[in-house]
Structure 1
Amino acid sequence: MIKPNIPHNESARLAALRSYNILNTDTNEIAFEQITHLASQITGMPISLISIVDREEVWFKSTKGMNICSSDRNESFCSYAVGHENDTFVLEDIRNHKELKHHPYANMEKNSIQFYAGVCLIDSDGYKLGTLCVIDTKPNKISEQQIEALKILSKQIIKLIEFHKANQSLLNVQKELETKNESLRSFAGVVSHDMKMPLANIIVTADILRAKYGGELDAQAKKYLDYLKNSSFTLSDYITGLLNHYESDSIKEGGVYESFDLNHLLEEIIDLLNIKFDCEIHFPENNIELDCNRSALEQIFLNLIGNSLKYNDKDKIIINIDAKVTEKEYYFTINDNGVGIPEDKIEDIFTLFTTVGNTDRNGNKGNGIGLSTVQKLVMSLGGTIKVESIENQGTSFIFTIARNFK
């Protein structure tokens, strides 16, 4: 009995095979089982196999009609196919083959192999990874049309293998990004908390200096103190926004799903905002009962209503809140009469750290964190958010939350 030939590009072939990370993976994948089933149906053969030819062993990804997991490479007919100069290898009557008639698989006492036809699994770089083969326990023949059908199926196998590789790469990238994001979240949390106290000390110190030495300071010195205090407040707001953004995941994951009254939630939020302006806030005419992540929805409304208050240059602020329930989602609208958003900035407002250039009622610029946090929370609750705005007239935020989404 002759031994199988080793391909001339064996080292590169094995490297390519390793890159797919398919050796010894699940042998019960439906997509591969369907292909071996089709191969047997098309050819009328009782046995069909998908083989992967490794350095010393041939491993079978899917089998039909034969209970086998692997075989020694020197004895597998699939090794002969991979080492053959052509992409197809057919043995119609193995016992009468001058070089393979003594092959152990052809001389077993029971169910010896007498017919073999294999087409190579060739990847996009031209490497033979293994075969799709059909087998019979008696001499047989296979037509050109059947061979072509097996070649078509072999290409589908390669697509599945290459898809598996691409999917694994994406999963690895996703895992790496999750790890980096977790590290960034931890870093942001630590740094932000550590900066809060020094900033509070700066604000308090500026007030003490003004109170104790105000009579000795000229107008310019007082202006510097005001600038120092206002800058500290701005940085403190920035840090608070950053913390809220990175803690939004915790709000989503740790939030309690409960039933609650929307208008009652809105009343609590208005109390938290401690509004000092002339302002009218209109709640939904029809109050609704919600069943969702209360903490996440509270954070969303806090940010959006807070923005409507801050970015408003009217003597009287008017905010209208509407809500309705559909079969699949809760639907919310928050409309104000504020400064609006420039048309060329609308598409960017949910991008982290992106600002539209407007200043709030106190002349401070935003930090581009709040709306990004809102979008993140809305999406985590299975919803969507969009904005409609006319500059100098007002803005409407429309968002949804999926019902029974946990």
Structure 2
Amino acid sequence: MKIASYPIPANEAGRLKALYQYELLDTFSEKEYDFITKMASQICNTPASLITLIDENRQFVKSFFGFELRETPREISFCNYTILDPHNVNVVPDLRLDDRYNTNPLVTGEPNAVFYAGAPLVTPQGFVLGSICVLGAERKELTEEQKEALKALAQQTITTMELRKKNKDLKTAKEKLKKVNHKLNEYVKIVSHDMKTPLANITMLSKGFRRNFKEVLNEHSEAYIELIENSASGLIDFINDMFAKTKKKSHDIDENKKVDTLSILKKVITLVAPTEDIKINIKGSFPTMPIDEIALQQVFQNLITNAIKYNDKPKGIIEIIADSDHRYHYFHISDNGSGIASNDLNKIFNDQQTLDKTDRYGNKGTGIGLAKVKNIVESFGGNISVASELSKGTAFKVCIPLYDNLSVAM
């Protein structure tokens, strides 16, 4: 194995990995870096300066001032010694008198360098990627102020590199998000079509049943059929709203549009169609606020549906109360159902976390609903909390930041 003629940093593998993440090797000059090299020469009063990045086998020059240099083999890079010390400026007053450099072709031949000083380019993780260095053809010393200025320019170089990397990462993330959103939109189209067809059939069949058996239907039967039709119609409207929302671009959303939270709540109650043994009481002052209507509907729907499904009392009672203070709008949704064990309260908002209990219909939950509710509420800038006692019931409190003082009083 060939032994390198230059020192290798102890963290070389990690250093190279960090270097490649910036994706700066073999890129063109950029004015942000050219400004830094020019400043370095002016501050240190030298004819030339470079921003160098030390690759595995070469020195790549990102920016130069005074003379043109794009890259060199790593073994003749002065910065091989600078990257060994992340804390100090490497100053060599006379390269001809230093055994590390006196046989270097950059000293013995063009550009006949005599003076060198380099400040290490240190990442936030502590890896030294290269240096900002100044060069001269005469013996020279740097003042302490010049050394500190060179270190500051090195920090500015890293800051510029970090900003470039973060902008590139953000652009990549946006592209990925765009692809994910496209896939989601396609999925919504499929689900919308597949769900609307059976719902339309339910509506058609219930209307046909009502028409064909009208003479034998009593008042209660009529009410149940109407409930089925209203629920199917409500679901179709919900699906249409979701589909319309996916077709909108972000700049098409009217952030000033205010929605009536009481109307959304009543719409949800109609949609979930509570049975006669469940009574829902609505109290308080419900705000009109600029908020995503579909998202808020999902919050109400999940919480109310759970309150119904896990109610084990002969007469289930659900109370929904709205109030506000100078900071938040509050929605309190409580029930007298089976309750949640205290050691499970910190789990219920976890994605796909299910509890060992079945609802009144004999089904087990998926662990998705409450996690989704939490994500939605937090996307509003709010929070959700829960209090519960076994056999006595559960109370959820949804807090959403106060947007305005408009409200719909009950």
Q: TM-score scaled to structure 2, two decimals? A: 0.62
Q: Which of 24, 32, 38 is 2:26 aligned to?
A: 24
2:9 paired residue number: 7
Residues 183 and 47 (structure 1), Cα distance of their counterparts in 2 relative to 1, 3 Å cut = same
2:41 is aligned with 1:72: no
Which residue is 2:407 aligned to? 390
**Matched position secondary structure for 1:8:** coil
State how 1:153-172 maps to structure 2 within 5 Å.
153-172=153-172
Q: How far apart, in 1, do the equivalents of 2:84 and 2:18 lie?
A: 16
Q: How much does 1:216 deviate?
A: 2.6
Matching residue of 2:217 = 217
Q: Deviations over 1:284-318 (max 9, x none)?
A: xxxxxxxxxxxx89xx99x97xx79x78x9xxxxx
Please tell me whether residue 182 in structure 1 is matched to residue 165 in structure 2.
Answer: no
With over 3 angstroms needed to count, the CA separation of the structure-2 counterparts of 1:357 and 1:216, relative to structure 1, is same
Cα 1:6–1:183 change in 2 (3 A) is same
Deviation at 1:188, TM superposition (A): 0.9
How has the CA–CA distance of structure 1 residues 349 and 194 changed in structure 2, closer, same or farther, with 3 Å as cutoff?
Answer: same
- Given that 1:4 and 1:83 are in contact with CA atoms closer than 8 Å, whether structure 2 keeps it comes out as no
**Offset of residue 39 of structure 1:** 0.3
Kindly indicate whether residue 150 of structure 2 is the aligned counterpart of residue 208 of structure 1.
no
Is contact 2:85-2:120 (8 Å) kept?
no
**Shift in CA distance, 209/10, structure 1 to aligned 2, threshold 3 Å:** same
* Matching residue of 2:138: 138
Question: Which residue identity lines up with residue 296 of structure 2 in the other structure?
Answer: T
Amino acid at match of 2:137: T
Paired position in structure 1 for 2:380: none
The alignment partner of 2:126 has SS state of: coil
Q: CA deviation at 1:230?
A: 0.8
1:34–1:183 distance in 2 versus 1, CA, 3 Å: same
TM-superposed deviation, 1:85: 8.6
Deviations along 1:147-196, one digit per CA (max 9) or x if unpaired, are: 11101111111222223333333333322222222211111122112322
Distance change >3 Å, CA 153–CA 352, structure 1 → 2: farther
Judge conservation of contact 2:86–2:120 (CA < 8 Å) in 1.
Answer: no
Matched, 1:149 2:149: yes
Gaps of 5+ in 2: 267-283, 302-375, 377-402
Partner of 2:316: none
User: Is the contact made by 1:132 and 1:154 (CA closer than 8 Å) also made in structure 2?
Assistant: yes
CA RMSD of aligned residues (A): 3.8
Asked whether the 8 Å contact 1:40–1:134 carries over to 2, the reply is yes
Q: Which residue of 2 aligns with 1:317?
A: none
SS of structure 1 residue aligned to 2:83 = helix
User: Does structure 1 residue 49 correspond to structure 2 residue 50?
Assistant: yes
Q: 1:102 to 1:210 in 2, by over 3 A?
A: same
- 1: CA distance, partners of 2:150 / 2:189: 58
For 1:194, what is the secondary structure of its paired residue?
helix
Query: What is the distance in 1 between the residues matched to 2:407 and 2:12?
Result: 67
Shift, 1:246, TM fit: 0.8
Distance 1:119 1:152 in 2: 9
AA in 2 matched with 1:31: E
Q: Is the 8 A contact 1:348 1:354 kept in 2?
A: no
Amino acid at match of 2:15: R
Paired residue total: 295
1:199-255 CA deviation, whole Å, 9 max, x = no partner? 222212211111112113333332222111111110111011111111122995xxx
Change (3 A) 1:222 1:346: closer
Per-residue CA deviations over 1:260-301 (Å, capped at 9, x if unaligned) read xxxxxxxxxxxxxxxxxxxxxxxxxxxxxxxxxxxx89xx99
Q: How does 1:3-402 map to 2 (within 5 A)?
A: 3-28=5-30, 30-83=31-84, 87-108=88-109, 110-249=110-249, 252=252, 342=285, 345-346=287-288, 349-350=291-292, 352-355=294-297, 389-392=406-409
Q: Which SS does the other structure have where 1:125 is aligned?
A: coil
Question: In the aligned structure 1, how far is the partner of 2:85 from the partner of 2:92?
Answer: 12
| Stretches of structure 1 lacking an aligned partner (at least 5 in a row) | 253-295, 314-340, 359-371, 373-385, 394-406
Task: Give aligned-pair identity as a percent.
Answer: 29
